[in-house]
Homo-oligomer: A and B are copies of this chain.
Amino acid sequence: PRHQGMAKNTNLRWRLPLVCLLWQLAMIVLFGVFVRFGAEADAHWEEEKREMNLTSDIENDFYFRYPSFQDVHVMIFVGFGFLMTFLKRYGFGAVGFNFLLAAFGIQWALLMQGWFHSFKDGKILIGVENLINADFCVGSVCIAFGAILGKTSPIQLLVMTLFQVTLFSVNEYILLNLLHVKDAGGSMTIHTFGAYFGLTVTRVLYRPNLEQSKDKQGSVYHSDLFAMIGTLYLWMYWPSFNSAISDHGDAQHRSAINTYCSLAACVLTTMAFSSMLQKKGKLDMVHIQNATLAGGVAVGTSAEMMLTPYGSLIVGAISGVVSTVGYVYFTPFLESRLHIQDTCGIHNLHAMPGLIGGIVGAITAAAATEDVYGKEGFIKAFDFTGVYQTRTPSIQGGFQAAGIVVSLLMAFAGGAIVGEPEGSTERGEHGEGRVEPACSWNSGIHVPEDEESDVYHMHNPDKPASP
- Chain A: residues with CB nearer than 8 A to chain B? 6, 9-14, 16-18, 20-21, 23-24, 27-28, 31-32, 35-37, 40-47, 49, 55-64, 66-68, 70-71, 73-74, 77-78, 81, 85, 91-92, 95-96, 99-100, 103-104, 106-107, 110, 126-128, 131, 154, 220-222, 224-226, 228-229, 232-233, 235-237, 239-240, 248-254, 256-257, 260-261, 263-265, 267-269, 271-273, 275-276, 278, 280-285, 288, 292, 306, 308-310, 313-314, 317, 372-374, 376-378, 380-381, 443-451, 461, 463-467
Contact = CB atoms under 8 A, between A and B. Distances in A.
What 10 A-B pairs have minimum CB-CB distances, sorted nearest first? A13-B281, A43-B377, A45-B250, A103-B267, A57-B249, A31-B310, A20-B272, A57-B248, A282-B446, A448-B465
17 contacts: A13-B275, A14-B276, A16-B281, A37-B308, A40-B253, A42-B254, A43-B373, A56-B59, A60-B253, A62-B252, A100-B268, A107-B261, A131-B256, A221-B448, A282-B443, A282-B445, A448-B465
A234 B313 CA distance: 28
Nearest to A124: B309
B225 A309 contact: no
A254 B28 contact: no
Contacts of A60: 248-250, 252-253
A107 B295 CA distance: 14
A309 B40 contact: no
A91 B267 contact: no
A299 to B, nearest CB: 14
Contacts of A81: 228, 232
Nearest to A381: B43
A106 B249 contact: no
A106 B47 contact: no
B374 A43 contact: yes
A466 B446 contact: no
B225 A46 contact: no
Given A310-B32, A449-B465, A103 B263 contact: yes
B17 A107 contact: no
Nearest to A127: B253
Contact of A250 (B16, B42, B240): B42
A224 B272 contact: no
Nearest to A252: B62
Contact of A256 (B66, B229, B284): B66
B236 A77 contact: yes
A465 B450 contact: yes
Given A17-B271, A35-B310, 14 more contacts: A11-B281, A17-B272, A32-B310, A43-B378, A45-B253, A56-B59, A57-B64, A58-B63, A63-B63, A66-B256, A67-B67, A225-B226, A282-B444, A448-B463
Given A43-B378, A221-B92, A377-B44, A285 B58 contact: no
Contacts of A49: 249
Nearest to A282: B446
